Amino acid sequence: MSTELKNKPSLPSRGTVVLEAHGIVKRYGHVTALGGADLELRAGEVLAIVGDNGAGKSTLIKVLCGAVVPDAGTVLLDGTPGHFRSPLDARRLGIETVYQDLAVAPALDIATNLFLGREVRRSGPVGSWFRLLDKGRMRREAQREMDELKFHLPSIDSAVEKLSGGQRQGVAVARVRSGAQSDPHDPRPGTSGDPHQPRYAARI
Ligand SMILES: Nc1ncnc2c1ncn2[C@@H]1O[C@H](COP(=O)(O)OP(=O)(O)OP(=O)(O)O)[C@@H](O)[C@H]1O
Ligand SMILES: [Mg+2]
């Protein structure tokens, strides 16, 4: 134990700035996820970043841990610029990250996620014989669900992986909510099932 302690590099004293970010900019096409963010973290400090859904918090964390390379700005670790090209670069320097994780299929769009396993088929023989899906209806219902939850998304056709963590949580909640409102024998959302379920799901 004493040997381990002896061999440990000396830790910066409390209050010393260990991690800095200056003017971090990250754009995804026409979406500006971060428009010039600054951050200062001191030794011994627990720092919380608070902001609206889509404000850029996760993007900033991804920049700090090397998962996202910013379009502009600098990250300094112990005063030295860190040009992280991957999370491995940051991990080598002691930056570890725990991510938000949700049971959604990231590559699929919002409507498909909402109706996963209970897809709505088109009416008539095209639905029952040819198993064609009523994509327009699922899309409309998904939009209605997200509007009711007051999640304003760039587009209902976005792949879930393009949404922010909170927006993804919205999709996960909407799926529970719309699933709870459906009768298990009728895959249409909004049909009567257990009258207690919608209220319960809406409160999640
Ligand atoms: N890979 C991506 N492709 C396109 N747009 C993205 C991508 N990642 C994030 N965005 C967009 O950038 C903005 C900031 O997203 P970010 O995930 O950083 O927000 P956040 O502050 O973490 O939000 P939340 O509180 O909801 O987790 C959002 O508008 C989001 O839609
Ligand atoms: Mg986030």
Residue 47's pLDDT is 93
Adjacent-strand bridge partners of 24: 37
Rg (CA), the chain: 23
Establish whether residue 58 lines the binding site of ligand 1, counting it when its CB lies within 6 angstroms of any ligand atom: yes
Picking from 19, 55, 18, 49, the residue whose alpha carbon sits closest to that of residue 36 is 55
* Positions of E strands within the chain: 17-28, 31-42, 72-77, 80-81
Alpha-carbon distances of 204 from 83, 108, 173, rounded to whole Å: 40, 23, 7
| d(CA 119, ligand 1 centre) in Å | 28
| d(CA 12, ligand 1 centre) in Å | 33
Cβ burial, residue 146 (10 Å; 0-12/13-18/19+): buried
Q: Whose CA is nearest to atom 29 of ligand 1?
A: 54
| d(CA 82, ligand 2 centre) in Å | 23
Task: Reduce the DSSP state of residue 179 to 3 states and report it.
Answer: helix
Cβ burial, residue 185 (10 Å; 0-12/13-18/19+): exposed
How far is 181 from 197, CA to CA, in rounded Å?
7
Splitting the chain (204 residues) into consecutive groups of 10 residues, what average pLDDT does each group show?
46 88 97 96 92 93 93 95 87 72 84 88 86 90 91 87 87 77 44 38 38
> pTM of this prediction?
0.62
| d(CA 170, ligand 2 centre) in Å | 12
Establish whether residue 28 lines the binding site of ligand 1, counting it when its CB lies within 6 angstroms of any ligand atom: yes
Query: How many DSSP H helices and E strands does the chain contain?
Result: 8, 4
State the ligand closest to the CA atom of 56. Answer: 1
In the DSSP assignment, the letter for residue 111 is H
Q: Are 75 and 106 in contact (CB under 8 A)?
A: no
Task: Reduce the DSSP state of residue 158 to 3 states and report it.
Answer: coil
Please name the amino acid found at residue 50: V
- Domains defined along the chain, listed by start: 17-93 (3.40.50.300), 110-201 (no CATH)
